[in-house]
Structure formats: C-alpha cells, structure tokens
C-alpha cells in the first residue's frame, strides 16, 4: 500500500501575486521520472445515470467514451505501455473514488480523465486542462497540459484556455475528486476538458463523431511525447529531447496554474476618434489584470441589454500568461442609431470586469456631431 500523502498547504502571498510571472516559455526536459514499463489509466468521465453535460449534440458520457476509446487504442500502439480504462460502455456507473481505487489496483503511473465542457451561459470556448495543486503532481500536469493545449491550438484551432488548478472547498487540496482521490494514492491525474460542447463558438469542434475519435488520437500522441514513448508500429521515436515541453518546477507550486478567482483590476473605455460624416467611431480599451491575464471580451452597443459572442482578447497567450494591455476597435452605425457602448473583460477563470459606458445622447446624424457622455464621470468629452 502506498503511503498516504499529507495535504500540502500552498501559501500564495500577496507579494507572490504581485510578482506573478509572465513566463517566457522555453523547451525543457521531461519532469516525469522515466520508467521502463508505464501503466496508464484512461477515465472516460461520467457514465450510466451520470450523463455529464447534455447541452451538446450528444450526451457527454458518449463523447467521453468515443475519445477515450480512441486514446486507449492509439496509446497501445506505443511500446512499453499498458493501458486500462475505467469503463468500456455507456451504462457503467462508477464513483470517482472507485475510479481512483481501480487505478491503484492496477499500479497506475498516471490517470487521464476525459471530458467535454459546458457552462450556464453557453457562450464559452476552448480547451483547458486541470492538474493537482500538490507538488510534484502539479508540475506533471502543468507540463502535459501545456503540450495538449498546444497540440489542439495547432491542429484544430481550439483556443487554449490554459492549465489550471482548483482549490478544495474546505481544504487547500484539490477540488476535483478524480484528481484528489488519485493524489491521495500518489498517482498523478489530470482532467482534459477538450472544448465547450454546449456553445456556438466550439460547435464546429463537436459536430460529428469522427472528431471525438480524432481527439483521442491527438491525446495519445501528446501523452506519448510527454512520457517519451516510441512506437515501432507507427514509426515514431519520442525518446529524445522534445522542444514542445515547457519548463516546470517539481519542487513547488507552478504559479502559471494559480486559481485566479478575482475579477480583472480594471477595464476602461475611451472614445479615441470619430468620423461623424460616416457615422463611425473608434474606441480604445485599456485593461489591467494584476493576478494573471485578460483572456477574452464581450461588448454591448445597447448599454448591456445584449452582448456580442466572446472574442479572444488581443495578444492573449495562455502559454506566456500575457496579453495586450490596450487595443482599439471601430464601429459604424446607421443614421438614427443612438448607441450606448460598454465592454466586459474576462480573465482565465471567467471572472469579468465591466467598463464604463459611452452613451450617445442623440441619434446619429451625419450632418452634425451627436453629444455623448462617459457614464462613470458624467462629463461631456469632445473629439
């Protein structure tokens, strides 16, 4: 029996948050210890009465199994690896703790939990992976998750939302049981949320079953790169240095995985130019996020009654934790329009800050300049 892992208290001080690094990602050595014979457990999330999200084309339990089955079959083509799955059909119900117990019973070296995402607003997008908060498992998941996210961005154009952690509700350990129950047994585990199955933006990435199978193959090849697995059958040799692997610290918490549950510090909107003969304007958006990065934004032209679909924040790079602090955007209106423009800026954990509102007091008329005001300051700027 493996010894019990004590919960490690991770202290994220205010000073550390202020210095939260915009990491310049560089290739690095593999952080997971080399093994001659590797045992991987693939966990298709949900199953049985637990359907997972039902917001997509098909229930999540079906999506997960399609991807996990392809992942398992592909990974078995690599040398010196044994692969198990926690379920092989869609009617099997299994608790999260029992999945970890199964992984322990087969002496698993790593657990990969396969999922698809959803949200209440049905307007999110992108792939994200979750890793443990506990070193060295945090580093294992951080390095593998970044590799997976990079593959999906390059191959499918799916936006990489980053490698994340989530703190337990009552402890400083992990929130997700499939991670915490395995870490308790000293088994590294990650969750792959491949994309959002319930929204319009990622809809093209879940429109047929062949895509789910393709994702499983991509997962397997990325996992093989992470572990340095080679395949005589496939003619693939991953034994050497891999330039796609990012640097990760096995001795401490990797701040790139920090759970930022606060909203961005500021989002400010300025009317920077206007051409009233053509009823067009240009606004400048300035933002600051001390704890991390801006990831996407939405805008409204009617004061916040309706909003655009989310748009990737200019310069947003979850691998480097960087973003453009300022960008401009042009709008053109019809005669008679009286817009009220406001933005919402979101960070990696979907926390958002709403900007000031630029409200035009008169309808657009190409013969004259309409008055407008900044709703926060109640002044009437001039352009």
Q: What is the pLDDT of residues 206-223, one digit of tens each?
A: 999 999 999 999 999 999
Residue 274: CB atoms within 10 Å: 16
What mean pLDDT is predicted for residues 304-318?
96
Q: Are 347 and 297 in contact (CB under 8 A)?
A: no
What mean pLDDT is predicted for residues 41-47?
96
Tokens 């098909």 label which residue?
58
Instruction: Answer whether residue 69 shows pLDDT above 80.
Output: yes
Per-residue confidence band for 4, with pLDDT thresholds at 50, 70 and 90: very low
Cα 9 to Cα 138, 145, 187, 262, distances in angstroms: 13, 23, 19, 20
Per-residue confidence band for 70, with pLDDT thresholds at 50, 70 and 90: very high
Tokens 């997971």 label which residue?
32
The burial of 311, by beta-carbon neighbours within 10 Å (0-12 exposed, 13-18 middle, 19 or more buried), is given as: middle
Helices (H), 79-171: 96-105, 137-156
**204 CB-near residues (< 8 Å, 6+ apart):** none
| pLDDT score, position 26 | 55
Instruction: Look at residue 24 and give its three-state secondary structure.
Output: coil
Looking at every residue in the chain, the average pLDDT score rounds to: 89
Q: Residue 287 and residue 266: Cα distance in Å, rounded? A: 5
Q: What pTM, to 2 d.p., does this model score?
A: 0.89
The burial of 13, by beta-carbon neighbours within 10 Å (0-12 exposed, 13-18 middle, 19 or more buried), is given as: exposed
Residue 96: CB atoms within 10 Å: 19
pLDDT over 70 percentage in the chain: 88
Cα 90 to Cα 87, 196, 234, distances in angstroms: 8, 20, 30
| pLDDT score, position 364 | 78
Estimate the share of the chain in helix, then strand, then coil, as percent rounded to the nearest 5. 20, 25, 50
Q: Residue 79 and residue 81: Cα distance in Å, rounded? A: 6
User: Half-sphere exposure of residue 252, counting CA atoms within 13 Å on the CB side?
Assistant: 4
Q: Give 220-238 pLDDT, tens digit per residue.
A: 999 999 999 999 999 999 9
Handedness of CA 261, 265, 270, 272 (dihedral sign): negative
Q: Give 89-128 pLDDT, tens digit per residue.
A: 999 999 999 999 999 999 999 999 999 999 888 889 999 9
Q: Give 251-297 pLDDT, tens digit per residue.
A: 999 999 999 989 999 999 999 888 877 888 999 999 999 988 999 99
pLDDT over 90 percentage in the chain: 73
Instruction: Answer whether residue 15 shows pLDDT above 50.
Output: no
Strand order from edge to edge, sheet including 127-130: 81-85, 38-44, 110-117, 189-196, 127-130, 160-164
Q: Which two tokens stand for residue 356?
A: 């000031």
**149 CB-near residues (< 8 Å, 6+ apart):** 127, 128, 129, 160, 161, 162, 163, 318, 319
């Amino acid at each position: 029996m493996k010894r019990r892992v004590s919960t490690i208290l991770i202290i994220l001080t205010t000073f550390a948050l202020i210095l939260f690094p915009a990491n310049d990602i560089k290739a690095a050595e593999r952080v997971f210890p080399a093994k001659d014979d590797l045992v991987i457990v693939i966990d298709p999330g949900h199953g049985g009465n637990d359907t997972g999200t039902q917001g997509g084309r098909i229930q999540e339990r079906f999506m997960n199994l399609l991807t996990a089955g392809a992942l398992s079959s592909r990974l078995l083509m690599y040398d010196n690896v044994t692969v198990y799955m926690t379920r092989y059909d869609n009617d099997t119900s299994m608790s999260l703790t029992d999945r970890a117990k199964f992984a322990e019973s087969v002496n698993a070296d790593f657990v990969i939990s396969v999922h698809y995402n959803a949200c209440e607003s049905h307007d999110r997008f992108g792939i994200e992976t979750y890793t443990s908060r506990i070193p060295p498992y945090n580093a294992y998941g951080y390095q593998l998750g970044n590799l997976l996210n990079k593959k999906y961005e390059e191959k499918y154009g799916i936006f990489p939302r980053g490698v994340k952690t989530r703190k337990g509700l009552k402890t400083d350990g992990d929130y997700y049981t499939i991670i915490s129950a395995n870490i308790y047994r000293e088994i590294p585990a990650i969750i792959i949320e491949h994309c959002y199955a319930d929204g319009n933006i990622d809809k093209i990435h879940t429109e047929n079953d062949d895509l789910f199978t393709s994702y499983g193959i991509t997962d397997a090849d990325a996992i093989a790169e992470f572990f340095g697995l080679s395949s005589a059958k496939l003619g693939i040799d991953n034994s050497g240095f891999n330039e796609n692997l990012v640097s990760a610290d096995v001795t401490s918490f990797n701040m790139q995985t920090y759970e930022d549950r606060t909203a961005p510090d500021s989002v400010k909107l300025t009317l920077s130019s206007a051409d009233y003969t053509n009823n067009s304007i240009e606004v400048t958006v300035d933002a600051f996020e001390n704890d991390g990065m801006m990831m996407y934004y939405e805008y409204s032209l009617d004061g916040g009654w309706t909003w655009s679909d989310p748009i990737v924040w200019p310069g947003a790079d979850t691998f480097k934790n960087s973003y453009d602090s300022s960008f401009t955007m042009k709008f053109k209106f019809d005669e008679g329009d009286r817009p009220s423009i406001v933005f919402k800026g979101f960070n990696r954990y979907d926390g958002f800050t709403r900007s000031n509102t630029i409200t035009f007091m008169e309808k657009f008329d190409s013969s004259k300049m309409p008055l407008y005001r900044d709703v926060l300051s109640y002044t009437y700027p001039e352009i």
